[in-house]
Amino acid sequence: MTAPASLADRDLVLTRIIDAPADKLFKCWTTPERLHEWFCPKPWTVSHAEMDTRPGGSSLIVMKGPNGEEMPNTGVYLEVVPNKRLVFTDAFTSAWVPSQKPFMVVTIEFEDLGDGTTRYTATVRHWTVEDRQTHEQMGFHQGWGIATDQLAEVAKTF
């Protein structure tokens, strides 16, 4: 998915060819019990995950830091196409209740390349250029890159 030129300055994008089929990667993204294995760069972990993976369904993923700090992430799924695409946002919490501060819409795309590999693309669109810059400074590329490497390893175990 290519952003209109007027929005491209709000996007952060990570694309990888992963040696795993799309259905296994999709399963990693939609199986709450497995998120702790890959979702956060270590030493962070997922301490709790709830996912109602359907359009309009809500999610809660709590990331836990090495010093016990917790970062709850609530959101709503906007689009779910099994083995192809997930779109979710933190702009809403459960039941379409607006969040305190919307930050991003995430599109995860799984393109089956036909040889057991998948082109995996994570596009994170932010509400403002400043939000994108903040996310980039927080370590988006390194953090999402590490998580994607972990995702690739976990997908091999499904």
Please state the rounded mean pLDDT for residues 10-27: 97
Instruction: Give the domain ranges of the chain.
Output: 16-155
Question: Please, which pLDDT band fits residue 95 given cuts at 50, 70 and 90?
Answer: confident
Question: Please, which pLDDT band fits residue 7 given cuts at 50, 70 and 90?
Answer: confident
pTM: 0.93
Dist CA 123 CA 67 (whole Å)? 29
Residues 40-80 have pLDDT tens digits of 999 999 999 999 999 999 999 999 999 999 999 999 999 99
pLDDT of residue 8: 86
Number of helices (H), then strands (E), belonging to the chain: the values are 3, 7
- Please say whether the beta carbons of 70 and 64 come within 8 A: yes
Please state the rounded mean pLDDT for residues 11-37: 97
Which CATH number is correct for 16-155, 3.30.470.20, 2.60.40.10, 1.10.357.10, 3.30.530.20? 3.30.530.20
